[in-house]
Amino acid sequence: MLLALQFHRNILAPAVVNGVAISSLYALMAIALVLTFRMSRSVAFVHGGIASISAYLYWYLAATSASAFAVRGWPKLPSLFIVIAFGAMFGFIFGTVVMGRMAGWPRVTVTTFSLGAMLLVAGIAGTVWRGVFETVPSPFGVGTYRLFGMNVTRHQVVCVALLVVLSAILTFVLSTTRLGVYIRAIADDVEAGQIVGIPTRSVAIGVWTFSGALAGLGGALIVPMSTLTELAVLFVLMRSLAAAVLGGFDSLPLALVGALIFGLVESVVGGGVFGPVSSGAREVILMGLLFGGILLIARRRGIASLGEV
């Protein structure tokens, strides 16, 4: 591995643009993970299953041809909306269970249940469409634009734009609306929220529904940038989990920063800007950044806590 001994300037800009686009998809999943964690204090691995089956469902509905499978060939945007609705429905069902019957269960048990649900759903998708290795059409068409002297696909532009719009909406809702006050109150203390009359279960299920929709959207948007396989979406979930970990499953801004860092480093290093780098070396770099970021944030929070004392 010859990092820093080689530098291919000509491919830096395309790698950065691709990294920003990829990080926007990591961020969608990270937002879903952070929101549901703040409602239930459990890690929603199930979002990986929702994203995985949503990717297959979008391909099945929108693709016009496939090597060995019958597909529908429906219009792409309506297919995307169907997939989002499917993700929302799945999130609602799972959130109803987690915030209802399982509300008093140990959080590690709920997290394990969510992990099992992810593996089950991903396994069902992989069984129904076994052996799929397909290129998935973008719901936004195949157009390209010139940006900073290079070609950028419409899919990349829309993915980044969606994240920006979503971040702005979430910021507005969480900071200025009654619903946002309810969500922040539940995230801080569920029991206190119930005492003051907040409909905690209804709000939490609503957040799970919204997060399920985000997971469905993320699954459908991930595969046009890669190839649809059984592990493609779950790999993205691992990146999103790492970004959420960087924010302690509590901070949306830090999760977004983590997603951006992971997307950029993965694209720049994996794209060969610094010469040939093995996938193993790339993972070492990414995990090193993750651990370093966690230690830095923990240290700063520790110093802040001492200052308050």
Select from 24, 8, 6, 1 the least CA-distant residue to 167.
24
Please determine, for residue 96, whether its predicted confidence score (pLDDT) is greater than 50: yes
Among residues 165, 57, 178, 36, which one has the least CA distance to residue 107?
Answer: 36
> Where do the H-state alpha helices sit in 5-142?
12-40, 46-62, 76-99, 107-128
pLDDT on residue 7: 64
pLDDT greater than 90 at residue 78: yes
Name the residue type at position 24: S
Q: Is residue 297 scored above 80 in pLDDT?
A: no
Q: Quote the DSSP letter at residue 103.
A: T
Considering only 2-11, 13-22, 47-56, which range has the smallest mean pLDDT? 2-11
CA angle 45, 33, 260 (to 5 degrees): 115
Check pLDDT > 50 for residue 303: no
Of the ranges 5-9, 13-17, 215-219, which is most confident?
Answer: 215-219
SS3 217: helix
Question: ∠169-173-175 over CA atoms, to 5°?
Answer: 115
* CA dist., res. 47 & res. 37, Å (int): 12
The pLDDT of residue 116 is 92
**C-alpha count within 13 angstroms, C-beta hemisphere, residue 93:** 9
The average pLDDT across 136-159 equals: 81
Q: Is 100 buried (19+), middle (13-18) or exposed (0-12) by CB count in 10 A?
A: exposed
> pLDDT: is 3 or 71 the higher one?
71
Distances (CA, A) of 75 to 55, 88, 138, 224: 16, 20, 11, 15
The per-residue pLDDT for range 258-290, each reduced to its tens digit, is: 888 888 888 877 766 666 766 677 677 777 776
The confidence band for 300, taking pLDDT boundaries of 50, 70 and 90, is low
Comparing CA positions, the residue from 291, 282, 237 lying closest to residue 26 is 237
pLDDT at 54 over 80: yes
pLDDT attached to residue 307: 41
Q: Could you tell me the two tokens for 133?
A: 């290795």
Describe the crossing of helices 12-40 and 232-246 by its angle, rounded to 10 degrees: 70
Q: How far is CA 141 from the centre of its chain?
A: 22
pTM: 0.86
With a CB cutoff of 8 Å and minimum separation 6, the contacts of 13 are 148, 149, 150
User: Domains of the chain, with CATH numbers?
Assistant: 9-308 (1.10.3470)
pLDDT in tens, 202-254: 999 999 999 999 999 998 998 888 777 767 777 777 878 888 887 777 778 88
Across the range 35-46, mean pLDDT stands at 91
Q: What are the pLDDT digits (tens) for 111-136?
A: 999 999 998 988 888 788 776 777 78
Structure token digits, residue 3: 């990092």
Confidence of residue 292 (pLDDT cuts 50, 70, 90): confident
- Rounded (10°) CA dihedral 15, 251, 215, 224: -10
Q: What is the pLDDT of residue 90?
A: 95
> What number of CA atoms fall less than 13 Å from residue 251's CA on the CB side?
17
Mean pLDDT of 168-177: 90
**Most confident listed range (3-12, 172-181, 229-238):** 172-181
pLDDT at 2 over 50: no
Provide the mean pLDDT of the chain: 82
> Which residue bears the tokens 């119930």?
194
pLDDT at residue number 215: 93
